[in-house]
């Protein structure tokens, strides 16, 4: 990949990280209002968890598109995209994610899927709280892995 494309990729990744961080701020705000018997704040927190995974998945799309790393199995597209981001593709690109964070992100992906289809189910406080904890664990790991990815590409990884 030429230096212009690499710099463009770096800029897109950093811009997406800023979007992810804004979702985290919304998530913190909503989670602060959540109580076991308050459906509105629970639903609002779940929605922000949904948004968080969407924003992270958009980061994956940026990387996949930059390296022509397209997913062909559309029935498992979201799972496959996440799995691919934890793969080092020799001669093409380093892994974006460590396996540690990929496993946690898979939990958030599964919650996002549940949330999208839970239109007739009352959200469980414990389940939302559990996924909130996963999201909080992911936050520093994602930044760490993205910086390592950029550095492996010969980019600074710094803001």
Asked if the model's pLDDT at residue 159 lies above 60, the reply is no
Task: Specify the pTM.
Answer: 0.92
Domains assigned to the chain: 3-152 (1.20.120.580)
CA 80 to the chain's CA centroid? 14
Which pLDDT tens digit goes with each residue over 83-139? 999 999 988 899 999 999 999 999 999 999 898 887 778 889 999 999 999 999 999
Residues 6+ apart with CB under 8 A from 105: 53, 56, 82, 97, 138
Which pLDDT tens digit goes with each residue over 49-83? 999 999 999 999 999 989 866 666 656 788 999 99
Mean pLDDT throughout 37-47? 93
Instruction: Indicate the pLDDT class of residue 6, thresholds 50, 70 and 90.
Output: very high
Element (H, E) at 21: helix 3-31
List, in sequence order, every residue forming a beta bridge with 93; answer none if it has no partner. 89
């Amino acid at each position: 990949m030429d230096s212009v494309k690499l710099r463009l990729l770096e800029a897109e990744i950093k811009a997406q990280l800023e979007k992810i961080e804004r979702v985290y701020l919304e998530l913190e705000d909503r989670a602060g209002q959540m109580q076991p018997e308050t459906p509105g704040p629970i639903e609002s927190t779940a929605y922000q968890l949904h948004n968080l995974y969407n924003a992270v998945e958009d980061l994956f799309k940026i990387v996949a598109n930059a390296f022509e790393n397209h997913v062909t199995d559309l029935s498992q597209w979201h799972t496959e995209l996440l799995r691919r981001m934890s793969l080092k593709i020799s001669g093409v690109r380093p892994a974006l994610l460590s396996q540690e964070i990929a496993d946690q992100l898979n939990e958030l992906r599964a919650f996002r899927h549940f949330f999208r289809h839970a239109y007739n189910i009352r959200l469980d406080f414990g389940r939302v709280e559990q996924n909130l904890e996963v999201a909080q664990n992911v936050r520093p790991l994602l930044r760490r892995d993205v910086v390592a990815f950029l550095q492996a590409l010969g980019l600074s990884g710094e803001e």
